[in-house]
Structure 1
């Protein structure tokens, strides 16, 4: 506790008639603002005014009750006050809790013990640590006293005040449990949820994971920050990206931030959107109430809760999920929602958090090795096989579900055989875990799930985009996808929807924006293109577009203009090569020759003479 709260001046002890901190046996009052981070994020102007009132109130109470504030101690919106007399500390706490500080609600802990000075102006040691842990047991508006402080003050309480014995409780990180009493008064709220002891804040319904969680350290930290600053965070990503697993991992780390615990709601089995509220209510353990709708019962229950509700797999009941979340956030100001979906919910205030692929350099390889050892206990990544493992992970785009399926094959196949079979990955990559949900028992089922949620125009664009290699821009998408079903002016809207649904990745590193499909998704789309019977037509458009792009190198330009054209072609070189190959394979010799001729300046200037000669010989 070493950071001074922003805007709080250092205390001049002489102002309160005390020249130094009390020593020996001292009563410490530690307080903080419940939900401070969230209040600053959602109501910054109101919080600024409330903190100013709090500063004034605390300063006045310190003077009135003969307290002293250490110079540095107090982080964020927390503070410490030291008293030579325990009854003064209790009277001060009562004054603070009765003050008009809304939306602020203080959690206060009071403990008496021997103190040690770190320096002339600050305390250190077990007494201040125990007081802080005592405070952490409480809820906003609640004042808790340790057993020793309660014994010292029970006969010296302020008028109409009383103490309620809350029993003896374990305290996090401390070996000795503590008897806890609550300060009560007719002017205060006296009914609170159970204390936030290590065993009282729980996660309800979250599936137990039987395998190790690998990597994601940066993502975990960033997601924790996102939850601290937003009331709705939606994890988006392609099927198999690890959204549910990441959500569960983070929930385990933040559970103590939510007084009333964490509730997990799995929407994957829900087929009727009207059943979404009932599914959530059942997950929270609620039964039907006569004369009330399910939604009303749910909202009444969570209205005063400080809970985290995890809504998993929202994409197939998106509108109903969005309606539920909107109602929850509107009715329950202290509820936070963490959703997982293949596309955003579209609710006001939503923070969309894209789950990235695993890092190929370490995380993907570590995941492969961990899951491979489940299939073959003697498996290790060595200098001899590391290249093959990295290549497998790269070709699977660092997608966790696909990597797990591939790793399971080491029981029957060599790494080289797995790598060489990835051209038919939908046949190769199936799971054997009977406990996996159906859409994650095969790689194809995972992509099938996303494809089934597309509208017909989106499906048409989706399959046509499969002809691109190495990415594409909007103009290329329009040139290839414009047809009776997908008009040119509709392409941008539909492309944006495919990005939202995690079937296309938008890369904003340059201008214009580039788009690409993960290779697993692209192979699926190629199958759909073949089934549609329009593959030749779409590939002909693709060929014509990139033949035209290549032909621009034939036009005399300034040196700057030619370099820019080289850059454009280089960015799309895989597509240009594909256009040449398709023309050659289909005996469009004239177009193939035109493309090859147009590319000669780039081959010569770029040191690719061998490639040019190889094309010329064909």
Structure 2
């Protein structure tokens, strides 16, 4: 008789031969021998590893082996793969689960089905294990063997995905292509789960069905019902159904409903958007994307959640929302589905057993305690959180003792109604019971932890919660006890450990804190601690600013709470101090809008309170508000000047430097206006040794030279010193700014290839750190540079990518990006696109003072359209307001207009004026265009050899530098060149061209300047 198959929890090994049909067709004799050898090997290895083969279970060359121990199954699989079975290559899947017998000789049901689907993923020679089996054998693998985690994968026709691991060994092939299906669903947007998901199979199926039919499903139920965990598990299981991904938004930390749109936008990877609401950004981003958003913990921000969800669903036809809330959100089309309690005799008991075994390894539900466990689950209404809290107590209590403890607490609620409120009270009773089991130091720490939002670290914990009732040296030990009791969770993402309370627990702790007289002192210390963090960001001293910014970003919820507490207590000075201290965070981490909003709120409070607000706080707030709004509010400079007037009345050099720097930065477009501010600020910063502010001042000087005076040499001098200083003190934000100015100068100097390479480096660095301003600025300038390097399509794509971010920064930045888009379109010869972008730039700039010296494309666009009147007017406006290399560009454009208008005298004067200025500035970017203009003038004057020589010189400069001619000018160039060639013999033309091409750039410039006035004056049309 065959040995009976193992039952209960069994490990199944399913295998088959890859490509067996093809092998039978091509190598029948070899296959006969190979299969015989496989059968012999199986007989030997199955017995050696205590396995049992079901009778005739399998198809073709597949086979099944059952094992009572997972380690035996994996050892057998390893032996099979190491056996010499060529040409056979086995695909093996191994899974551990509860089996069902079809009869005494065969298995049926979920366990063997899952194993078969697992096997389907494997390649020939590859063994894959389920995550369950992998966990069981991880510590008992054969010598040299190891497991390689392949992630979470969908299994054909099965609703629940599976974590898959590969069995590896030095004797085996360990490198394989991706697993054999197209539905890998590793989700990076869902929170990682550190414990197993128990039960809920029927609920999973039902909610998945609802999601397939409805676009808005809300999981409702009492706190602790398991809404979040179920939503995350469902989302993971349907990830393959949404081409544009699964996104998770946690609203639990929010104390202000107004933050719902901002939080949602950030969860979807969108930074703050000055000038545009988060709702609009979300609508634009989601658009027609096919995606699922999990909106978690909506109950405390219902109205805001309803408004946002309704807007998104109304404007995004392929969006599906899965929400969790303690009550319906109340949006049209919403389908609510109440999360039921776990079944007492199945899922709830399994959950208790699983969590209890985590708390006390070796714990099992047996005959002695099964009834008590069942009663615990029943008394807790099958609520997962309450069950987990109860299970955690097995460290110190037996199930019978736990049950007795619950009985004492639930008597208080036996008369309550069977409503959702009662279920909430049941959960509260569970937490009350857990709280009652705490020692006095544990209770003190627990309730004080309720002050933290979004988590905390050990340093914050010690500084906020300690006093005469709880000493600092006690905190770590007591905190560890709270972690053991499942009241606090510990998390680490490679850095220092962070701690948090589950939101329901945190709210309970917060209520307990509110009942105690210490609440004000604790909240004050919380505010002081995070105000100190903000102050360190504002004045980092010798600390690394980027690390401080990382900390501030991680603690943004606590900083928000500190700001709110300051305002709640009418401490406007403290609120403004906190908001202004975070200025580096707002500027470098995409928080322009939130920082501006904080200052708006604080300044509004200050206006109501009048004299109660200190002049120092007011000056800081006005200066920083102006700084944040400088690209979206034309009145920002006036606000900064007001802050300076206040600062001059105070004996505070640091404040004076701050306000002077703001004024200088905001006046960068007007060098005469900016210079005295920056000069005074620089002298004062050097005198007081404020290196951080000095780096900002040097950047502002470099920026003024870059966008105000158009003087690349002056920009290089200031930016080089600023970059070196910023790098030395660790200020990456202003280092990027100075490097941007250096690259802009490099471009004007004519090193377009080098400038493009460095801009790409800056762009990648900004992308990695989410530095919005430099993400946009690098793309904008690279778009402009690409126009000069013969890559107009890339330039247009870069400018297009920058537009959304530019809109978030402000209207002026939008105008700058549209200008670069127009230049790229001109370079590519697309006059219509250039016109559209130029019009958009002009609309954004309006009469903004910042735009007066900006390189504007309007004259060149009008010239390309043939509108010579507008082209001349725009060029002359640019000449009237421009300086430096901006003037060189404007003069060059007016020279082209004059050529088109048959005004050679004007064209010659403008070209030589531009060339003289270009030489003074070393603005070699414009030299090829100017040489070609002079060549056309020489041709018109009849100086054909000189024209050919200048054409040759210009071509050589372009070849050396990579600076290309915009395609909109190609037709005039080609016509003039062809006419020059026709006026000379081939020998004469080639000789003159070669002579020009042999000149260096400086020699070509000198030759062109010597020729001024020596050639015949070009005749006007009709005089020849």
Larger Rg: 2
In proportion to residue count, which structure has more strand? 1
Q: Which has the higher helix share?
A: 2
Give the number of the structure with larger relative contact order, counting CA–CA contacts within 8 Å between residues 6 or more apart: 1
